[in-house]
A = this chain, B = another copy of it.
Amino acid sequence: MSIRIGIYGYGNLGRGVEAAVRQNKDTELVAVFTRRAPESVKIATETAKVVSADKVEEYKDKIDVMIICGGSATDLPVQTPKLAKLFNVIDSFDTHAKIPTHFANVDAAAKEGGNVGIISVGWDPGMFSLNRLYANCILTDGADYTFWGKGVSQGHSDAVRRIDGVKDARQYTVPVEAALEAVRSGSNPELTTREKHTRVCYVVAEDGADKARIENEIKTMPNYFSDYDTTVNFITEEEMKRDHSGLPHGGFVIRSGKTGLNGEHKHIIEYRLQLDSNPEFTACVLLAYARAAYRFSQEGASGCKTVFDVPPAYLSSMDHSEIISHLL
Protein backbone atom coordinates (compact mmCIF):
# COMPACT_ATOMS: atom_id res chain seq x y z
CA MET A 1 0.00 0.00 0.00
CA SER A 2 1.25 3.47 -0.88
CA ILE A 3 2.06 6.20 1.61
CA ARG A 4 -0.77 8.74 1.27
CA ILE A 5 0.68 12.24 0.93
CA GLY A 6 -0.97 15.63 1.43
CA ILE A 7 0.56 18.90 0.25
CA TYR A 8 -0.30 21.99 2.29
CA GLY A 9 0.44 25.10 0.19
CA TYR A 10 0.91 25.00 -3.55
CA GLY A 11 3.72 27.34 -4.60
CA ASN A 12 7.08 26.36 -6.09
CA LEU A 13 7.81 23.94 -3.24
CA GLY A 14 4.37 22.34 -3.30
CA ARG A 15 4.61 21.79 -7.05
CA GLY A 16 8.04 20.25 -6.47
CA VAL A 17 6.58 17.77 -3.97
CA GLU A 18 3.88 16.86 -6.47
CA ALA A 19 6.55 16.09 -9.08
CA ALA A 20 8.57 14.11 -6.52
CA VAL A 21 5.56 11.94 -5.61
CA ARG A 22 5.35 10.90 -9.27
CA GLN A 23 8.97 9.68 -9.12
CA ASN A 24 8.40 7.60 -5.96
CA LYS A 25 6.16 4.64 -6.62
CA ASP A 26 5.53 3.89 -2.94
CA THR A 27 3.87 7.29 -2.44
CA GLU A 28 0.58 8.69 -3.71
CA LEU A 29 -0.77 12.24 -3.68
CA VAL A 30 -4.22 12.41 -2.07
CA ALA A 31 -4.88 16.15 -1.94
CA VAL A 32 -3.40 19.62 -2.23
CA PHE A 33 -4.64 22.10 0.40
CA THR A 34 -4.76 25.76 -0.53
CA ARG A 35 -5.86 29.07 0.98
CA ARG A 36 -6.90 30.21 -2.49
CA ALA A 37 -10.23 29.27 -4.02
CA PRO A 38 -9.74 25.54 -4.81
CA GLU A 39 -11.36 25.85 -8.23
CA SER A 40 -8.71 28.43 -9.20
CA VAL A 41 -5.83 26.02 -8.52
CA LYS A 42 -4.91 23.58 -11.26
CA ILE A 43 -2.64 20.66 -10.31
CA ALA A 44 -0.82 18.09 -12.44
CA THR A 45 -2.14 14.96 -10.70
CA GLU A 46 -5.53 13.90 -12.01
CA THR A 47 -6.20 11.45 -9.20
CA ALA A 48 -5.66 14.04 -6.45
CA LYS A 49 -8.08 16.66 -5.12
CA VAL A 50 -7.63 20.37 -4.54
CA VAL A 51 -9.18 21.21 -1.17
CA SER A 52 -9.66 24.40 0.80
CA ALA A 53 -7.22 24.71 3.69
CA ASP A 54 -10.26 25.22 5.95
CA LYS A 55 -11.32 21.64 5.35
CA VAL A 56 -8.06 19.97 6.22
CA GLU A 57 -9.53 18.27 9.31
CA GLU A 58 -11.80 16.21 7.09
CA TYR A 59 -8.70 14.46 5.78
CA LYS A 60 -7.43 13.33 9.17
CA ASP A 61 -7.70 9.62 8.34
CA LYS A 62 -7.10 9.90 4.62
CA ILE A 63 -3.52 11.17 4.70
CA ASP A 64 -0.47 9.45 6.19
CA VAL A 65 1.93 12.41 5.98
CA MET A 66 1.23 16.09 5.36
CA ILE A 67 4.09 17.96 3.69
CA ILE A 68 3.77 21.61 4.65
CA CYS A 69 5.04 23.93 1.94
CA GLY A 70 4.56 27.36 3.52
CA GLY A 71 7.13 30.04 4.27
CA SER A 72 9.29 30.10 7.39
CA ALA A 73 8.63 33.73 8.33
CA THR A 74 4.93 33.55 9.18
CA ASP A 75 3.36 30.34 7.82
CA LEU A 76 5.28 27.43 9.33
CA PRO A 77 5.50 28.65 12.96
CA VAL A 78 1.67 28.50 13.01
CA GLN A 79 0.87 25.79 10.46
CA THR A 80 3.25 23.03 11.54
CA PRO A 81 2.17 22.85 15.22
CA LYS A 82 -1.49 23.14 14.22
CA LEU A 83 -1.30 20.41 11.60
CA ALA A 84 0.91 18.17 13.79
CA LYS A 85 -2.12 17.67 16.05
CA LEU A 86 -3.92 16.05 13.11
CA PHE A 87 -1.23 14.50 10.89
CA ASN A 88 2.31 13.29 10.68
CA VAL A 89 4.01 16.37 9.24
CA ILE A 90 7.18 17.47 7.45
CA ASP A 91 8.34 21.04 7.03
CA SER A 92 11.36 22.96 5.75
CA PHE A 93 11.53 25.59 8.52
CA ASP A 94 14.77 27.45 7.86
CA THR A 95 15.02 30.35 10.32
CA HIS A 96 18.09 28.91 12.08
CA ALA A 97 17.84 31.03 15.24
CA LYS A 98 14.22 30.03 15.88
CA ILE A 99 14.60 26.28 15.32
CA PRO A 100 14.73 25.35 19.06
CA THR A 101 11.41 27.16 19.71
CA HIS A 102 9.80 25.66 16.63
CA PHE A 103 11.03 22.21 17.68
CA ALA A 104 9.44 22.58 21.12
CA ASN A 105 6.12 23.78 19.69
CA VAL A 106 5.91 20.98 17.12
CA ASP A 107 7.01 18.40 19.69
CA ALA A 108 4.19 19.33 22.09
CA ALA A 109 1.57 19.40 19.33
CA ALA A 110 2.71 16.14 17.73
CA LYS A 111 2.72 14.34 21.07
CA GLU A 112 -0.76 15.65 21.80
CA GLY A 113 -1.96 14.27 18.47
CA GLY A 114 0.03 11.05 18.67
CA ASN A 115 1.83 12.05 15.48
CA VAL A 116 5.38 12.46 14.22
CA GLY A 117 6.75 15.76 12.95
CA ILE A 118 10.10 16.18 11.20
CA ILE A 119 11.14 19.82 10.89
CA SER A 120 13.80 21.81 9.05
CA VAL A 121 14.08 19.31 6.22
CA GLY A 122 15.68 20.34 2.92
CA TRP A 123 19.27 21.07 2.00
CA ASP A 124 20.18 23.92 4.36
CA PRO A 125 18.94 23.20 6.95
CA GLY A 126 18.83 19.52 6.05
CA MET A 127 21.50 17.78 4.02
CA PHE A 128 24.05 20.49 4.82
CA SER A 129 23.27 20.12 8.54
CA LEU A 130 23.72 16.35 8.33
CA ASN A 131 27.06 16.76 6.65
CA ARG A 132 28.18 19.27 9.27
CA LEU A 133 27.22 16.77 11.99
CA TYR A 134 28.85 13.70 10.44
CA ALA A 135 32.04 15.60 9.64
CA ASN A 136 32.23 17.10 13.14
CA CYS A 137 31.79 13.71 14.79
CA ILE A 138 34.57 12.20 12.66
CA LEU A 139 37.09 15.06 12.64
CA THR A 140 36.88 16.33 16.21
CA ASP A 141 39.80 18.73 15.74
CA GLY A 142 38.90 20.87 12.75
CA ALA A 143 37.09 23.81 11.18
CA ASP A 144 33.79 24.09 9.28
CA TYR A 145 33.20 26.03 6.11
CA THR A 146 29.91 26.55 4.29
CA PHE A 147 29.75 28.18 0.86
CA TRP A 148 26.51 28.88 -0.97
CA GLY A 149 25.94 29.08 -4.68
CA LYS A 150 26.17 29.56 -7.46
CA GLY A 151 22.51 30.26 -6.92
CA VAL A 152 19.61 32.65 -6.77
CA SER A 153 18.94 34.31 -3.43
CA GLN A 154 15.27 35.28 -3.28
CA GLY A 155 15.84 37.64 -0.35
CA HIS A 156 18.59 39.56 -2.11
CA SER A 157 16.63 39.67 -5.37
CA ASP A 158 13.67 41.14 -3.48
CA ALA A 159 15.90 43.74 -1.83
CA VAL A 160 17.11 44.97 -5.21
CA ARG A 161 13.56 45.05 -6.56
CA ARG A 162 12.57 47.47 -3.80
CA ILE A 163 15.02 50.11 -5.11
CA ASP A 164 13.40 53.04 -6.89
CA GLY A 165 13.66 52.68 -10.67
CA VAL A 166 14.12 48.87 -10.62
CA LYS A 167 11.53 46.95 -12.61
CA ASP A 168 12.92 43.45 -12.01
CA ALA A 169 16.05 41.93 -10.50
CA ARG A 170 17.77 38.64 -9.91
CA GLN A 171 20.70 38.16 -7.52
CA TYR A 172 23.19 35.30 -7.67
CA THR A 173 25.41 34.35 -4.74
CA VAL A 174 28.73 33.04 -6.08
CA PRO A 175 31.39 31.26 -4.01
CA VAL A 176 34.93 32.52 -4.57
CA GLU A 177 36.98 29.76 -6.20
CA ALA A 178 40.23 30.90 -4.53
CA ALA A 179 38.61 30.64 -1.09
CA LEU A 180 37.33 27.14 -1.88
CA GLU A 181 40.80 26.09 -2.99
CA ALA A 182 42.37 27.53 0.17
CA VAL A 183 39.95 25.49 2.29
CA ARG A 184 40.55 22.33 0.25
CA SER A 185 44.30 22.73 0.75
CA GLY A 186 43.81 22.06 4.46
CA SER A 187 45.40 25.36 5.49
CA ASN A 188 42.34 26.21 7.66
CA PRO A 189 42.17 29.81 6.45
CA GLU A 190 40.20 32.48 8.32
CA LEU A 191 37.95 33.96 5.66
CA THR A 192 36.04 37.22 5.73
CA THR A 193 32.56 37.55 4.28
CA ARG A 194 34.03 39.36 1.28
CA GLU A 195 36.58 36.62 0.65
CA LYS A 196 34.02 33.80 0.59
CA HIS A 197 31.28 35.01 -1.76
CA THR A 198 30.64 37.57 -4.46
CA ARG A 199 27.21 38.83 -5.46
CA VAL A 200 26.12 39.28 -9.05
CA CYS A 201 22.93 41.21 -9.86
CA TYR A 202 20.94 41.34 -13.09
CA VAL A 203 18.66 44.37 -13.14
CA VAL A 204 15.93 45.55 -15.48
CA ALA A 205 15.71 49.33 -15.00
CA GLU A 206 12.62 51.39 -15.67
CA ASP A 207 12.77 53.66 -18.74
CA GLY A 208 14.82 56.74 -17.96
CA ALA A 209 15.98 55.52 -14.54
CA ASP A 210 19.40 56.65 -13.31
CA LYS A 211 21.43 53.44 -13.59
CA ALA A 212 24.49 54.84 -11.82
CA ARG A 213 22.34 55.67 -8.78
CA ILE A 214 20.71 52.22 -8.79
CA GLU A 215 24.10 50.52 -9.01
CA ASN A 216 25.39 52.61 -6.12
CA GLU A 217 22.33 51.94 -3.98
CA ILE A 218 22.75 48.20 -4.51
CA LYS A 219 26.47 48.11 -3.76
CA THR A 220 26.17 50.15 -0.57
CA MET A 221 23.06 48.47 0.84
CA PRO A 222 23.85 47.43 4.44
CA ASN A 223 23.61 43.72 5.43
CA TYR A 224 22.69 42.65 1.91
CA PHE A 225 25.57 43.96 -0.25
CA SER A 226 27.93 46.37 1.50
CA ASP A 227 30.18 43.59 2.87
CA TYR A 228 30.55 41.94 -0.54
CA ASP A 229 32.12 42.58 -3.91
CA THR A 230 29.03 43.10 -6.00
CA THR A 231 28.66 43.25 -9.77
CA VAL A 232 25.58 44.89 -11.30
CA ASN A 233 24.52 44.09 -14.88
CA PHE A 234 21.66 45.97 -16.52
CA ILE A 235 19.71 43.79 -18.94
CA THR A 236 16.43 43.90 -20.86
CA GLU A 237 13.19 42.31 -19.75
CA GLU A 238 13.57 39.76 -22.56
CA GLU A 239 17.04 38.78 -21.35
CA MET A 240 15.75 38.44 -17.78
CA LYS A 241 13.01 36.10 -18.90
CA ARG A 242 15.23 34.10 -21.25
CA ASP A 243 18.36 33.71 -19.09
CA HIS A 244 17.28 34.10 -15.46
CA SER A 245 13.90 32.46 -14.96
CA GLY A 246 15.24 29.36 -13.19
CA LEU A 247 15.94 28.91 -9.49
CA PRO A 248 19.32 27.19 -9.44
CA HIS A 249 21.25 26.91 -6.18
CA GLY A 250 23.73 24.77 -4.32
CA GLY A 251 26.87 25.08 -2.30
CA PHE A 252 29.58 23.36 -0.34
CA VAL A 253 29.96 22.11 3.23
CA ILE A 254 33.60 21.43 3.98
CA ARG A 255 35.29 20.29 7.17
CA SER A 256 39.04 20.40 7.41
CA GLY A 257 40.62 18.52 10.31
CA LYS A 258 43.69 16.89 11.75
CA THR A 259 44.37 13.43 13.18
CA GLY A 260 47.30 11.53 14.63
CA LEU A 261 49.06 11.64 17.98
CA ASN A 262 50.47 15.05 17.05
CA GLY A 263 47.88 16.24 14.53
CA GLU A 264 50.28 15.36 11.74
CA HIS A 265 47.70 14.27 9.16
CA LYS A 266 45.20 16.54 7.41
CA HIS A 267 41.83 15.49 6.06
CA ILE A 268 39.16 17.25 4.01
CA ILE A 269 35.50 16.18 3.92
CA GLU A 270 33.51 17.99 1.25
CA TYR A 271 29.81 17.84 0.37
CA ARG A 272 28.65 19.69 -2.70
CA LEU A 273 25.27 20.32 -4.29
CA GLN A 274 24.63 21.71 -7.79
CA LEU A 275 20.90 22.19 -8.21
CA ASP A 276 19.03 23.29 -11.32
CA SER A 277 15.92 23.80 -9.21
CA ASN A 278 16.19 24.69 -5.54
CA PRO A 279 12.49 24.04 -4.79
CA GLU A 280 12.34 20.71 -6.65
CA PHE A 281 15.44 19.38 -4.89
CA THR A 282 14.12 20.52 -1.50
CA ALA A 283 10.84 18.79 -2.32
CA CYS A 284 12.65 15.51 -3.00
CA VAL A 285 14.31 15.70 0.42
CA LEU A 286 10.94 16.43 2.04
CA LEU A 287 9.38 13.39 0.40
CA ALA A 288 12.20 11.07 1.52
CA TYR A 289 11.66 12.27 5.10
CA ALA A 290 7.90 11.81 4.72
CA ARG A 291 8.68 8.12 4.23
CA ALA A 292 10.68 8.20 7.47
CA ALA A 293 7.86 9.96 9.36
CA TYR A 294 5.44 7.31 8.16
CA ARG A 295 7.73 4.55 9.34
CA PHE A 296 8.26 6.14 12.76
CA SER A 297 4.51 6.53 13.07
CA GLN A 298 3.91 2.89 12.14
CA GLU A 299 6.27 1.96 14.96
CA GLY A 300 4.14 3.97 17.39
CA ALA A 301 6.51 6.92 17.81
CA SER A 302 5.29 10.48 18.35
CA GLY A 303 6.81 13.93 18.81
CA CYS A 304 9.18 16.14 16.88
CA LYS A 305 12.33 14.95 15.15
CA THR A 306 14.99 16.43 12.90
CA VAL A 307 17.22 14.95 10.21
CA PHE A 308 19.68 14.17 13.03
CA ASP A 309 17.23 11.71 14.59
CA VAL A 310 16.36 9.66 11.52
CA PRO A 311 18.25 6.44 10.76
CA PRO A 312 19.22 6.78 7.08
CA ALA A 313 17.58 3.44 6.20
CA TYR A 314 14.18 4.96 7.08
CA LEU A 315 14.46 7.20 4.02
CA SER A 316 14.58 4.32 1.58
CA SER A 317 11.79 2.40 -0.07
CA MET A 318 14.11 -0.63 -0.23
CA ASP A 319 14.04 -3.20 2.55
CA HIS A 320 16.99 -3.59 4.88
CA SER A 321 18.59 -6.61 3.19
CA GLU A 322 18.44 -4.90 -0.21
CA ILE A 323 20.10 -1.78 1.18
CA ILE A 324 22.88 -3.82 2.77
CA SER A 325 23.46 -5.81 -0.41
CA HIS A 326 23.35 -2.94 -2.87
CA LEU A 327 24.51 0.21 -1.12
CA LEU A 328 26.80 -0.75 1.78
Contact = CB atoms under 8 A, between A and B. Distances in A.
A44 B138 CA distance: 21
Interface string A272-295: 111111001101110010010000
Interface in A61-80: none
A133 B23 contact: no
A242 interface: no
B328 A284 contact: no
Interface residues of A, number: 70
Contacts of A184: 274
Interface string A312-326: 110111001101110
Contacts of A276: 259, 265-267
Given A274-B268, A324-B99, A280 B259 contact: yes
Given A136-B316, A273-B267, A324 B100 contact: yes
Given A19-B259, A133-B312, A134-B312, 5 more contacts: A133-B327, A267-B273, A267-B280, A308-B324, A308-B328
A324 B107 CA distance: 14
Nearest to A131: B271
29 contacts: A16-B259, A20-B140, A44-B261, A96-B328, A99-B325, A120-B328, A127-B269, A130-B134, A133-B315, A133-B327, A134-B315, A137-B291, A137-B312, A137-B317, A186-B274, A259-B276, A259-B280, A259-B281, A259-B284, A265-B275, A265-B277, A265-B280, A265-B281, A267-B274, A268-B272, A268-B273, A270-B270, A271-B271, A308-B324
